């Protein structure tokens, strides 16, 4: 399998103006000779006619050759840029599939080969996947930081500090009387490990920001029935997402839509009106609403100003913004609300959108994007920090045991970038990719 030459469509689904077919593996040169007559000059686009084994033209387009190890995968690789016709692609894939030792790539296989050949580490691979799927400006910036190696450089520098600490302690243990081994290096080592623990703890605290940028900031619309929750959902989404009626309890489930607000992904949730329900379906809807509230980053508490009712059992400790609705139905303004809106006239909606953007920025903006963005990063960093804590705090333990904790800390750190054996992680990570990446 690893010695196979692989191919796949790396651009969007046909039909399209241009399609890009990627090839990688030991038979790349032979494939180019068979299809276009010769191997083009390395990294230079060459306009060629692509022919079948019977010398029948399939299509004409640009062909590029990237000799290994200076390619994305680290192997000999090629790209064919041809017309994005289903028939053209089918004919080319038939030719490629009939060559012995050549097969269609599996999900993420090009990127996996890049990892296995040392061209990318796991954080860079995940950043590349996130960059492909980025929908907002902040998601793009976070993905670029990771795919370009910014986060990996931090982890590598920490791993070097752990390695040096272990080497100094082991040198003191093995050669206590040697002149070229500094005497009693422990104080120096543990002082640096304390600083490293502080650095990792600060880095781990920023993980929530990375998850918010990557996965979205959860905004839940809550309130009594008929407070205008579904109307607000539709107004912010600028389309009919939720059914709106004057019948209390219309919304029975949690609906959600993704918004791009100031470059951040905001996940907006509409919930069932909070009240003591008797209908079995509505009871389930209220239960789901309360689950959504517990998981919210911020709650928009809607109050109908023409009939102000606030659910008495709503957890007021939740971060929330009180929004007065149906402003067009009242004559006198009130200062008991953070904001007043009308979905009928549109009054207050731009201000509400700006307010949501400010809440996200105040909580997560203005910091470096060299931060963890996935749960597996957080888990490994937390285990690394725990091992480091154990090594530092066990002052009375012998150095061998404390050094073992440093080794564990380095191993957990290495699991993030793939610097240690992480075979069990690979299938999960690379399965997120499309076929041609």
CA dihedral sign, ordered 396, 401, 406, 412 = negative
- The 3-state DSSP class for residue 244 equals coil
Q: Residue range 108-128: average pLDDT?
A: 93
Res 362: pLDDT: 83
pLDDT of residue 164: 85
CA–CA dist 340, 344 (Å, integer): 13
Domain 124-206+372-430 has CATH 1.10.10.10: no
DSSP-derived 3-state class of residue 217: strand
Tokens of 12: 């969007």
Confidence label for 435 from pLDDT (cuts 50, 70 and 90): low
Tokens of residue 283, six digits = 């009871």
Segment 14-42, tens digit of pLDDT: 999 999 999 999 999 999 999 999 999 99
Are the CB atoms for 25 and 14 separated by under 8 Å? no
Domains 5-105 and 124-206+372-430 share a fold: no
- CB-CB contact of 33 with 82 (8 Å): no
> DSSP character for 329?
G
Fold of 5-105: Gyrase A; domain 2 (3.30.1360)
User: Which of 171-175, 287-291, 341-345 has the highest average model confidence (pLDDT)?
Assistant: 341-345
pLDDT at 76 over 90: yes
Q: How far apart (Å, rounded) are the C-alpha atoms in residues 97 and 90?
A: 10
Per-residue pLDDT of 359-396, as tens digits, reads 888 877 666 788 898 999 999 999 999 999 999 988 77
143 exposure class (CB count in 10 Å sphere: 0-12, 13-18, 19+): buried
In this prediction, residues 298-323 reach a mean pLDDT of 79
The two structure tokens encoding residue 244: 């709106």
Describe the strand order of the beta sheet including 46-51 as a list of residue ranges: 46-51, 57-66, 77-84, 16-24, 5-9, 102-104
Residue 71 confidence (pLDDT) above 90: yes
- Tokens for 225, please give them: 């029935």
Q: Which helix (H) or strand (E) holds 299?
A: strand 298-304
Q: Is the pLDDT of residue 314 over 70?
A: no
- Residue 424 banded pLDDT, cuts 50, 70, 90: very low
> Cα separation of 22 and 96, whole Å?
11
Average pLDDT value for residue range 398-407? 86
First CA to last CA distance, the chain:
17
DSSP class of residue 313?
Answer: T
Most confident of 55-69, 123-137, 304-318: 55-69
Percent pLDDT > 90 in the chain is 50
Long-range CB pairs of 307-316 (<8 Å, 24+ gap) are 309/224, 309/227, 310/223, 310/224, 311/222, 311/223, 311/224, 311/274, 311/275, 313/274, 314/222, 314/274
Cα–Cα distance for residue pair 163/168, rounded to 1 Å: 9
Displacement of CA 206 from its chain's centroid (Å): 14
3-state class (DSSP) for residue 13: coil
Of the listed ranges 85-89, 325-329, 351-355, 380-384, the one predicted with least confidence: 325-329
The dihedral built from the CA positions of residue 90, 93, 97 and 99, taken in this order, carries a sign that is positive
Report the percent of the chain where pLDDT is more than 70. Answer: 84
* 289-304 b/e (C-beta count within 10 Å ≥ 16 → b): beebbeebbbbbbbbb
Distance CA 49, CA 82 (A): 10
- pLDDT range class, residue 330, cuts 50, 70, 90: confident
Classify strands 264-270 and 217-223 as parallel, antiparallel or unpaired: parallel
The Cα–Cα gap between 35 and 15 comes to: 22
Query: With bands split at pLDDT 50, 70 and 90, how would you rate the model's confidence at 312?
Result: low
Work out the mean pLDDT of the chain and round it to a whole number: 85
Q: Is the pLDDT of residue 271 over 50?
A: yes
Q: Are 415 and 380 in contact (CB under 8 A)?
A: yes
Return d(Cα 324, Cα 332) in angstroms, integer.
12
pLDDT per residue over 202-213, tens digit each? 999 888 888 888
Q: pLDDT category, 119, cuts 50, 70, 90?
A: very high
**How do the domains of the chain map onto residue ranges?**
5-105, 124-206+372-430, 213-364
Q: List, for residues 237-270, the tens digit of each pLDDT value.
A: 887 765 555 555 555 567 888 999 989 999 998 8
Q: CA-CA distance, 275 to 37, in Å (whole number)?
A: 74
Average pLDDT of 161-168?
85
Question: Tell me, which fold does domain 213-364 have in CATH?
Answer: Rossmann fold (3.40.50)
Helix (H, G, I), strand (E, B) or coil at 264: strand
Is residue 327 over pLDDT 70?
Answer: yes
Looking at residue 366, what is its pLDDT? 66
Rounded Cα gap, residues 347 and 362, in angstroms: 24
Preceding amide of 15 cis, omega within 30:
yes
pLDDT at 427: 59
Question: For position 174, what pLDDT does the model report?
Answer: 63
Q: Report whether pLDDT(436) > 60.
A: yes
Q: Cα–Cα distance between 394 and 397 in angstroms, integer?
A: 5
């Amino acid at each position: 399998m690893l010695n196979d030459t692989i191919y796949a469509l790396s651009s969007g689904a046909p039909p399209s103006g241009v399609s890009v077919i990627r090839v990688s593996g030991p038979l790349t040169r032979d494939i180019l000779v068979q299809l276009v007559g010769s191997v083009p000059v390395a990294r230079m686009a060459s306009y060629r006619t692509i022919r079948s084994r019977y010398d029948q033209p399939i299509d004409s387009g640009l062909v590029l050759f990237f000799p290994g190890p200076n390619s994305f995968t680290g192997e000999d690789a090629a790209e064919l840029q041809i017309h994005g016709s289903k028939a053209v692609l089918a004919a080319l894939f038939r030719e490629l599939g009939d060559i012995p030792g050549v097969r269609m790539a599996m999900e993420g296989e090009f990127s996996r080969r890049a990892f296995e050949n040392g061209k990318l580490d796991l954080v860079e691979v995940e950043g590349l996947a996130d960059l492909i799927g980025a929908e907002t400006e902040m998601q793009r910036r976070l993905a670029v930081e990771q795919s370009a190696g910014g986060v990996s450089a931090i982890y590598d520098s920490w791993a070097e500090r752990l390695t040096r600490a272990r080497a100094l302690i082991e040198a003191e243990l093995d050669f206590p009387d040697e002149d070229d081994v500094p005497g009693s290096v422990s104080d120096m080592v543990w002082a640096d490990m304390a600083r490293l623990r502080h650095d990792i703890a600060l880095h781990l605290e920023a993980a929530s920001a990375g998850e918010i940028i990557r996965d979205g900031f959860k905004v839940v619309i809550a309130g009594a029935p008929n407070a205008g929750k579904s109307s607000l959902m539709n107004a912010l989404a600028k389309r009919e997402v939720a059914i709106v009626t004057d019948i209390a309890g219309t919304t029975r489930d949690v609906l959600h839509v993704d918004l791009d607000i100031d470059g951040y992904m905001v996940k907006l949730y509409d919930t069932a009106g909070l009240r003591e329900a008797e209908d079995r379906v509505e009871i389930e809807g209220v239960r789901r609403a309360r689950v959504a509230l517990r998981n919210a980053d911020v709650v928009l508490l809607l109050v109908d100003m023409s009939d102000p009712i606030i659910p008495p059992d709503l957890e007021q400790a939740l971060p929330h913004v009180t929004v007065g609705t149906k402003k067009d139905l009242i004559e006198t303004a009130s200062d008991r609300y953070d904001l007043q809106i009308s979905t009928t006239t549109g009054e207050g909606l731009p201000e509400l959108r700006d307010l949501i953007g400010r809440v996200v920025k105040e909580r997560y903006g203005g910091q470096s994007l060299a931060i963890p963005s996935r749960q597996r990063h957080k888990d490994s960093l937390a285990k690394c920090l725990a091992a480091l804590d154990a090594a530092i705090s066990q002052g009375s333990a012998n150095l061998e045991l404390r050094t073992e904790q440093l080794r564990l800390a380095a191993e957990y750190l290495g699991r993030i970038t793939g610097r240690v054996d992480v075979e069990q992680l690979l299938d999960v990570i690379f399965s997120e990719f499309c076929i041609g990446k």
